[in-house]
Amino acid sequence: MNWTVDPKRRSFLTSDESASSTPFPIQNLPWGVFRRPDGRTTCGVAIGEYVLDVGRLEAAGLLPDLQAPQPLFSGDSLNAFASQGPTAWRAVRERLSELLDADEPRLRDDAALRREAIFAQADITMRLPFAIGDYTDFYSSKEHATNVGTMFRGKDNALQPNWLYLPVAYHGRASSVVLSGTPVRRPHGQTRPDSEAPPQFGPSRAVDFELEMGAFVGTGNDLGHPVPIDEAESHLFGMVIVNDWSARDIQRWEYVPLGPFLAKNFATSISPWVVTFDALEPFRCAGPSQDPEPLPYLKSPRPDSTFDIELQVAIQTSSLPEPYTLCRSNFRYLYWSLAQQVAHHTVTGCNLRPGDLLASGTISGTTPDSFGSMLELAWKGERPIELPDGSTRTMLQDGDTVIMTAACRSDAYQIGFGEVRGTIVGN
């Protein structure tokens, strides 16, 4: 296993106590883009309560020479670095891990460089980590697809005939992918609450969250050249939490025959820190058994094709003293793996590009408290969710804040993703 995830390692920026409790120990080092206190935007990694300006280390000549024609870390996105590929990603990660180690004096003992390169997270402003060219949203949870299908088509026809044979997906709107903390305006559109009457126009009455994870493409593929499944993960840079907001009433009216459109294009929120697959490696695990056996181009060569990532969704309302947990789920529940998603996406020869975002689709488990949307938790409004103050929800109201968190946990440390939060606001 890569030495960067050795559980005994510590950084000079984290105490022994905080190293086991922080979501960002030295074993993690997730990537992000942030605005420094002096107003400059740069790329960096999170470490404990701090952020390390990797652009400043690059300028100081402390990083591996990647033979890039221009600086990779002093801009406003990770696209240039991500396009360098896994060998470069690992070389930089190992160098940063070395520099942040408690026993390494180069950065630890250079007070001037530390002032220029290390900032409290409270003093910086996060930006979108990538310039996102394309966004694809999958539908990869069997439990979620079965729940939704059961509600609208009945138990015997819950899954469409194609679902067990391919990772269903649609192309989303990259321009409305926003960073955690961005308010989400309640969308307007056509709905048809009465099937015997013409449609209406107005604000959606059924705004919902969708608990998802997303993977950013690092190195793309040339047009006309599919990515084999055994190479698929090497094309992915890292993962974030995704809340793919949904207007259920708009979607119900518009989705036939081409699927989601306005019900999904008003906002997709993501967390700011991108967790690498090197950091996730110790948390690999097997995914669900697949029956029928996938076609050869989708058959994974490894049994541990997914990751044990604990997920949680909480809601904060104006009348609640603290966030209330709505559900707990896990990334490992997904039927279709990331590698299968990439292999299927590119099998036509479709070209993925650095910074493209692939979202998993809503992640639900087998028990009601693991369902990843209000639609499922309240079962199409038939089972209202009761909050601690006595109020109920079947869908989100204006002023409601949804908070999603994710982490991999071991006895020695955790690999956290931070959070993605968004508040529904009226027009």
Catalytic residues: 144
Chain centre to alpha carbon of residue 62: 30
* Amino acid present at 223: L
Return the SS3 of 413. coil
d(CA 397, CA 278): 39
Which residues partner with 407 through β-bridges? 310, 416
**CB distance 40 to 73 below 8 Å:** no
**The tokens of 96 are what?**
């940063």
Which DSSP state fits 64?
A: -
d(CA 113, CA 101): 16
Which residues partner with 328 through β-bridges? 312
Pairing of strands 275-276, 177-179: unpaired
d(CA 51, CA 45): 6
**CB distance 56 to 116 below 8 Å:** yes
Pairing of strands 135-138, 357-359: parallel
Chain centre to alpha carbon of residue 92: 22
